[in-house]
Every structure is written in C-alpha cells, then in structure tokens.
Homo-oligomer: A and B are copies of this chain.
C-alpha cells in the first residue's frame, strides 16, 4: 500500500488485488479481456480503496478524454441555454462530458478559454459564430482539435457549422414589417464588432429595405450591449427622432423586451403607438405584455445536431459538414400596422 491517506493509484489497486497494473487498467477499460474471477477481485479492490483514475495521467497515456468544450458568449441569460442543454443531453447519451466556459463577449477571453479547454484535453469544441482570429483556427488545426461553429451558418467560410441563416431570417421579419406599411424603421442592434450574427441580422434588414424600395442608408440603427436596460435606453434614443419611428426592429429578444418596458413606462402603447419585434424567441418573449413578435430559432434541434456532428468529427476524423436549420416568424402581439 502506498502512503497513508493519499489518493490511491492504479498501482495500489494492483497490489491490493495481486495483479499487475496492466490488468487493472484492462478491467477498467476493456473488461472483456479479463477473466471474470480476476475482474471481480480487481473491482473489489477498486471499491475498497475508493480508487478513481487520474485524469491527467489517463489523457497523457491514451490521448482521449471524452470531453467536449463549449465556449459561449454569455451565461447571463438564456439565449444559449436551451441549445446548450440539448447539446449536453446528446453528448451525455454518447458518453461525452460537456464543459462550458463563457467569454463575456470578449475575444481575448474567448481565446483564453479555447486554449484552456484544449489544454485540458477537450476532444472537440463548440464555438459560437465565425468571427475569430484566424490564428485560433490554425492553433486548433495544429492541436488536432475539431471545432464546430453554431448559431449561424455561412457559405463563405470553410468551417463547418450548424445553425440558421441570420440574414435571411431577419430579412423575412423585416419584409413582414414593411408589408404592414411601416415606413419609419428604427433598429436596436447588439454590438456588431466581432459578432457576425449581429452583422448578418443588420444586413438582412437592409436587404429587405432595398427589396421594398427603401434606401437602407436611411435606417436609424443604434448598437448597444446585451441587456434589458440597454434596450430601454436605446428605445429612448430612437424615439427622440422627429418624426419618430413607427416600428423598432430589435436584434434580439432581450433588447426588445427592454424597449417594450420603456414604452410602457413612457405611456406608449405597443403596438398602437409603436411596434416592436425581437429575435430568438426566448421564453421571455411569450411572457411579456404584449407578447413579442419575434423570430423563432430551433435551439434544441441545433444543439442536438451540433453534438452529433461534433462527435462525428472527433471519432471519424471527419471534416464536418454544415447544416442549416429553418427559423420561423412568430407573429404575436407587438407588431401591427402603423398608426395612420
């Protein structure tokens, strides 16, 4: 037995069971190769000593961890929650463990987290969005760690991704808005720097403007950080314009809800005085009054498919494929025809 009160090792188990370390290792990793009686004896020793494998050692020797990492921009609210949960469930059913880290929407932190997760032996990574220093892709390639991008798809990057077309989705929403007769459109967007999804959504709005005979450059866009309060402030800012917008298209539900609240605080009726639309269809959207018209995203499906794709990349050394999911307009109460 090794020193008192220290964590038992494979060696301790081997000694205690009277076999070699190889046999113990085999009991744990490929029990089929060990004869029943030996295995029982070994397992008993494992029990008795309360042995747990040392992960570092295992990684070093085997080079597989059955761990995948996900780095999401934020845990502060639920945008990524549902998708991530589904991702985790699928992984779990395939015997992988998910480790999550958050980047707080900051590229340096994301880079740190990527390296941290890779260093800890993640077999694969789930990343959100394409915007990212190219050196990171190179790094992952060299480390031989496959990465899958989610929450967006994009034809013009080589990286596999599973998600939806942010641009087309937002264009569809804006088409709807313009079709109702809105002429003065305000946009409350998240910060576009370093965030391709945000930029694509804005492009989608512009596409629709153009297609409907408006000059996209007349759009009043305000960018602000993620947060209900920020949505509220942006609301005030945009509604100061003369004449004021009849509709506020928001880049996500959180901003939209902030705008909604501020409208109420200002005594403005939604959608009577001003229409408001969101994006993501978080649970929030159905709870507020009036219920938010928004873009529905297949979070759970995305998570599940992402897990499968990533595991495929890991296990079969596959380059991974890109799968595009459909979004759907959720017409609820916060959007209507503009006041005449």
Contacts and interface: CB of A to CB of B under 8 A. Distances in A.
B56 A144 contact: no
A56 B53 contact: no
Copies in the assembly, this chain: 2
**Count class of interface residues, chain A:** 35 or more
A18 interface: no
Contacts of A139: 50, 52
A58 B60 CA distance: 10
Interface stretch (A70-78, A161-169, A315-323): A70-78
A330 B53 CA distance: 48
A59 interface: yes
A142 to B, nearest CB: 6
Interface of A: 5, 7, 50, 52-60, 65, 67, 74-78, 81-82, 84-85, 88-89, 92, 97-102, 104, 109, 112-113, 115-116, 118-121, 138-139, 142-144, 228, 257, 260-261, 264, 283-284, 286-289
Given A7-B143, A75-B75, A78-B78, 19 more contacts: A52-B119, A52-B143, A54-B60, A55-B120, A55-B121, A58-B119, A75-B100, A76-B82, A77-B81, A78-B81, A92-B109, A97-B112, A98-B101, A99-B99, A99-B101, A228-B283, A264-B289, A284-B284, A287-B288
